[in-house]
Chain A
Amino acid sequence: DTAVSQTPKYLVTQMGNDKSIKCEQNLGHDTMYWYKQDSKKFLKIMFSYNNKELIINETVPNRFSPKSPDKAHLNLHINSLELGDSAVYFCASSQGRGSGFFGPGTRLTVL
């Protein structure tokens, strides 16, 4: 059983388009996150949601918006995509002070 799942695995789109990435966790965790991994493999947190409240936003452009319909889901919406948004996006979840479990990633390519 997959603990943290993301769809799609690959996403290729044109500049200016709007796209979404979905994330679901079946671990019963209370906090979910989105991370961005750039071409140099550097991982940086974008958002976290705890009990449906945004508690971190690390200077991410407002073109990016997380949406959490319930505790098990945290989707990432991106408007007006730019070339620099090309990266691998990872969803993760944790329970309180527990470890973060990462999803398999979504490779976004903006042409």
Chain B
Amino acid sequence: GENVEQHPSTLSVQEGDSAVIKCTYSDSASNYFPWYKQELGKGPQLIIDIRSNVGEKKDQRIAVTLNKTAKHFSLHITETQPEDSAVYFCAASKRNSGGGADGLTFGKGTHLIIQP
């Protein structure tokens, strides 16, 4: 099955600096890569996603890049703010031939700490 590795496990950056979180996946058939933000006591919330036919996607201060050949994808957060502090998860999934939906395989999470 799919295996997703995520690094680093903890990332501390100064407010205003950029943060980068990296993930690799094992199954070349995976074609959907979402990123989730989880705040304390809450469920994961989708912040951005990318499909395998796209190399980069940006939404305001957040961007995701995908390298299908190397099987890795990254989350970039620019101009970090205190409210960006949370645990971030990358995930990967593929759609089976029957057109149904597979579940997400998650990385182990990155605890992002924004230092004021």
Contact = CB atoms under 8 A, between A and B. Distances in A.
Interface of A: 4, 30-31, 33, 35, 40-45, 48, 50, 55-56, 58, 90, 94, 96-97, 99-105
A12 B99 CA distance: 39
A90 B102 contact: no
Interface of B: 32, 34, 36, 38, 42-46, 49, 51, 87, 89, 95-96, 99-106, 108-109
A96 B99 CA distance: 8
15 contacts: A31-B101, A41-B108, A43-B106, A45-B103, A45-B105, A48-B101, A48-B102, A50-B101, A55-B100, A90-B43, A90-B44, A100-B34, A100-B103, A102-B44, A102-B45
Contact of A99 (B38, B46, B87, B109): B46
Q: Which 9 A-B pairs have the closest CB atoms?
A: A45-B103, A102-B43, A43-B106, A31-B101, A50-B100, A99-B46, A102-B44, A48-B103, A104-B43
A19 B96 CA distance: 32
A97 B108 contact: no
Contact of B104 (A40, A97, A100): A100
Chain B: interface secondary structure? strand
Nearest to A98: B101
B95 A97 contact: yes
Given A102-B44, A102-B45, A104-B43, A41 B109 contact: yes
Q: Which of A43, A48, A90: most chain B CB closer than 10 A?
A: A43
Given A48-B103, A50-B101, A100 B109 contact: no
A70 B47 CA distance: 29
B21 to A, nearest CB: 14
